Amino acid sequence: MIKNTRLFVGAVLSFTAIAALGRTASAMDQPYVWRNVKIVAGGFVPGIVFSPKQPGLAYARMDIGGVYRWDAADKHWTPLTDWAAQSSYNLMGGESVAPDPRDANKLYIAAGMYSDGKAAILRSSDQGKTFDIVYVPFSMGGNEDGRGVGERLDIDPNDTSILYFASRRDGLWSSHDSAKTWTKVAGFPISGGETAAGRQRWRVVGLSLVVFDPTGAAPGEPSKNIYVGVGHRADTTLYRSTDSGNTWEPVPGQPKGLVPIHAELDSDGMLYLAYGNGAGPNDVTAGAVYKFDTRNGTWTDITPEKGHFGYAGLSIDRQHRGTLAVTTIDRWDVVDTIFRTTDGGRTWKSAGAQSQRDWSASPYVTFGLPVPKFGWWTDALAIDPFDSNHVCYGTGATIWATDDFTNIDSGRPTHWSVWGEGIEETAVIDLISPPQEAHLVSALGDIGGFVHNDLAVSPPGGFLPNPQLSTTTSLDFAENNPAIIVRIGEGERGKSGGYSLDGGATWKPFTSQPRENSRGGCIAVSADGRTFIWAPQREAPVFSKDHGATWTPCKGLFENARPISDRVDPARFYAMDFASGKLYLSTDGGASFASHDAVEPGQGDNRLRALPGREGDLWLVHNGGLYHSTDGGGTFARLDAGDRFIAIGFGKPPPDKDYPALYTAGVINGVEGIFRSDDMGSSWVRISDQQHQYGAVNPVIGDPRIFGRVYIGTNGRGVLYGDPQR
């Protein structure tokens, strides 16, 4: 059964007491102000759609970071799905977006990140300020292969209560009541099962797009002509109905061996399609651009340039018939570009050759090069329907936009700038907040990480250099000498880790590694900064006492351990084997470890943390519970204070107290959120609210210099920080 849930975004919430928790006290909501730590964009943007009704209104969908609305007055992208909590995190995947063509206030979002999770159609009548959530029986995969195709969700412009959705695994679906209920289109020849046979879950693309042709039907009547694309290679990849979806047939004469990634219908009845030999965003090695004349059934190959790449993004200039633009995809040898035509594809001009670019909003997008590439994974392309000069496209890291796109016609350069203000789409792996120098250092997927001296500015130096890691998997600093910071991750061969002696201002790579291909895993530094322990991915842990010049095996410590340092005693290190419940302890600077039973065996990604300023004070998240030890892990007591804990972090103590504030994410007494405790976990206050949930949250840490400030890492909404509302 399809479930309908009314969910309000942007509503004024009252902060009231919730049920009693813990040993003696109760948890209450405390108002917090939440802001993003500014990086500006940072992830793949698979779709951008302008409202065809209201000038200056656009929507951008992310594969793991939800959906945003462009607010022209504020010149800012506003996130629309931050209300999604850990339990509804799958809705942060933007599979497709459809603004209503007649009512600019109405918006529909197909929300589902992975095909094995719950998916929904989000219905809004106020441009995404509030939503109805309609859970649907078909799966989605906003972060799976083919996530840039589309749009999969489309609205009949003749009767806007009718919507069609081209699903990955479950065939074609329709709604005739503005997405309140959905029915599988029985007459469509692909049910979905054959597209999934023998394929890995995330590689199933299924159907790729829906396009309504409103001609031949009066307003208020269902459109007779509907086109649906297929996103996997087959003899037939484009179907058409001429009787409002009752029957379907292959479109005669269509290209073979290619799949339609994007398609749009011009006002003169010409259907334009961008093709690849795969749905992307990777592994597209051939492609083409075609136009299909829906009036006489003729096909014309209008491909701008052939090569070892495909075509993906496509957008029609709604001010001029026969004018459109397309993007290449996976054109790795020459770099992707945008081609523009004003004569229906007879001639094309490239925007990439003479483009001038301003990346000051996101200095990191150069990725260490003198200037940023024009783009890659360029699935998303949109020409403003009210302004032919305003064009934007998405990449694997950001959105670029120009206001002089027609300069191409006269051979003049186009000027592009990062159009990502408000978008934060990084996947956060680790965070530290040292007691001096920069307030925050981050470890991120795909773009390494940053040192933030100013949380409101994308760092001018870009992401962490020397070595430049694509993904940083672990960070630590020396508690008693916090200018020393270490990091490891995924880098070039022989360059997977490094250290700083000045709080992250400059970095040096380790001059040796345990093995030639050692990478990733976890790293810890002793309280005095003299010992590093590195547990590389799928390797035995090692330690170094010379800043990574040499490495020695740690005796008695298991492979893939997550070692941590005591924050007072430089000789003590700890690691927890969560599967067995054993704690491993070193008292000789990591040279050797001994183990003992500490907690019951468990599973999952659990965390052990050592409290600053108190030797042997450990906190453990394990099997969803929260444990505390004051004797260096000799014994652990479980705090019966909540239902499920995900993370634990420490911040500056409350006024008139000397024990650090605790921060966690999880579920306490049935309430999801982010929480703070000022009394060693005896009681908790919820510091998030219904508007600010951010999907998957982990890690969570406090600031040692500012009481009440908490930093959270998300998987798709970047790094955020919260301060008590004043």
528 counts as catalytic: no
Distance CA 326, CA 288 (A): 10
Identify the helix (H) or strand (E) that includes residue 194: helix 193-196
Which two tokens mark 403?
């206001």
The answer to whether 521 and 539 have CB atoms below 8 angstroms apart is yes
Distance CA 274, CA 512 (A): 48
663-672 burial string, b = 16+ CB within 10 Å, else e? bbbbbbbebb
Distance CA 373, CA 365 (A): 8
Q: Which of 297, 280, 382, 322 is nearest to 57 (CA)?
A: 382
Distance CA 90, CA 297 (A): 41
446 counts as catalytic: yes
Q: What are phi and psi of 57, to 5 degrees?
A: -110, 125
The answer to whether 291 and 240 have CB atoms below 8 angstroms apart is no
Three-state DSSP state, 612: coil
The answer to whether 611 and 618 have CB atoms below 8 angstroms apart is yes
The answer to whether 318 and 265 have CB atoms below 8 angstroms apart is no
Residue 713 makes CB contacts below 8 A (sequence gap 6+) with: 428, 429, 430, 431, 442, 697, 698, 699, 700, 719
Q: From residue 678, how far is each of 343, 652, 708 by CA, in Å? A: 68, 10, 9
Which two tokens mark 434?
């040292």
Q: How many CB atoms lie within 10 A of CB 512?
A: 13
Three-state DSSP state, 87: helix
Catalytic one of 71, 387, 446, 528: 446
The edge-to-edge listing of strands for the beta sheet with 671-677 is: 17-20, 26-29, 685-686, 671-677, 661-668, 644-651
Catalytic one of 29, 63, 156, 617: 63
Residues in the chain: 726
Beta strand residue intervals within 573-718, DSSP E: 573-577, 582-586, 594-597, 607-610, 618-622, 625-629, 637-639, 644-651, 661-668, 671-677, 685-686, 697-702, 710-714
Residue 156 makes CB contacts below 8 A (sequence gap 6+) with: 162, 163, 164, 212, 214, 222, 223
Residues belonging to the active site: 63, 446
